[in-house]
Structure 1
Amino acid sequence: MATPHQTRPDDLTMEVVDLIGSVVARYHEEFEEAAAGHALTGAQAKLLTLLSLGELPMRRLAQKLKCEPSNVTGIVDRLEARGLVERRPDPADRRVKVAAVTAEGRTVARGLRESLRFAREPLAALGDEERLALRDLLRRMVESDPA
């Protein structure tokens, strides 16, 4: 007897996966364009966006960005030189440094999000109930991910 992971996905599932892939590809393309519009690399923009949600220890940033801590140090150095982020001692452990977004960095991060047209325009065509249903379905997908 085959387990769910061993069976071949049905056509509907494959179509949904392909559509999600198209949305992700379009998001990344526009995100890179938005980053360049703010004179940022994609990695700098991703880090700034993460920090706009809350300060994080450098090691945790590296985990979230799936890169080496030394790479994060370089990215933070460049963003710090532009006044977009700052390093602070972690209140829970003063030996640990956290990176935090500055007021200017928060403004740039907001500008990055607001410049992503691809989702805003199609989503505007959906009613409130449809957007709520889509949000709830996406949350369920994200929350069920073991990673």
Structure 2
Amino acid sequence: MAVDEVAASLLYQVMAVAGQVTGRMQEGLERLELTGPTANLLWVLDPEGDPQSLRRLATLLHCDPSNISLLSAQLEERGLAERRPHPRDGRVRTLVLTPEGRKVRRRLLDVVAKRSPFAELDATEQRVLQGLLAKALKSA
């Protein structure tokens, strides 16, 4: 198989996996009363990490900051997150998980792990794939 054909095949496989993930997660998201976009935002809010600015969250999710404002409001209405001033720069707004948000995020990660097509891979295979994907994403 030529290099171009391998690259095309890889792209097709990645897109197919993304489609499977989306499809498999839908039922779990419905049970958690989350939409895809609110689940994505909840997912990137690392409870152990530094608070992320709304602008940074928009960059991570490849969307407009106004979308993050809307999604943040939806999470706040459910009591899953709070917008707060950044601890080192009060002019910057961050989004932080509430205790309930941490619980729902944990359940979300459990749903994803159980329904993931990667669940079929053993731990070593998952680590290898994680490293390869990280390398590919870093170069992008």
Which TM-score tier does this pair reach, normalised by the shorter chain? 0.7 to 0.9
Equivalent residues, number: 135
The TM-score normalised by the length of structure 2 is 0.82
Contact 1:52–1:109 under 8 Å retained in 2 = no
Deviation at 1:58, TM superposition (A): 1.4
Contact 1:62–1:72 under 8 Å retained in 2 = yes
Contact 2:45–2:97 under 8 Å retained in 1 = yes
Query: Structure 1 regions of 5+ residues with no counterpart?
Result: 1-7
Match of 2:139 among 138, 141, 144: 144
Corresponding position: 1:33 with 2:27: yes
Contact 1:35–1:42 under 8 Å retained in 2 = yes
Corresponding position: 1:47 with 2:45: no
Matched with 1:98 is 94
Deviation at 1:84, TM superposition (A): 0.4
Corresponding position: 1:115 with 2:115: no
Match of 1:62 among 53, 58, 61: 58
How much is the aligned-residue C-alpha RMSD, in angstroms? 2.1
Match of 1:79 among 61, 67, 75: 75
The amino acid across from 1:42 in the alignment is G
Q: Counterparts of 2:13 and 2:111 in 1: how far apart (Å)?
A: 22
Structure 2 SS opposite 1:79: helix
Query: Structure 2 regions of 5+ residues with no counterpart?
Result: none
The amino acid across from 1:70 in the alignment is S
Distance 1:131 1:34, change over 3 A: same
Structure 2 SS opposite 1:115: helix
- Give runs of ≥4 in structure 1 deviating > 6 Å: none
Instruction: Give % identity.
Output: 35
Contact 1:31–1:112 under 8 Å retained in 2 = no
Q: Counterparts of 2:106 and 2:118 in 1: how far apart (Å)?
A: 14
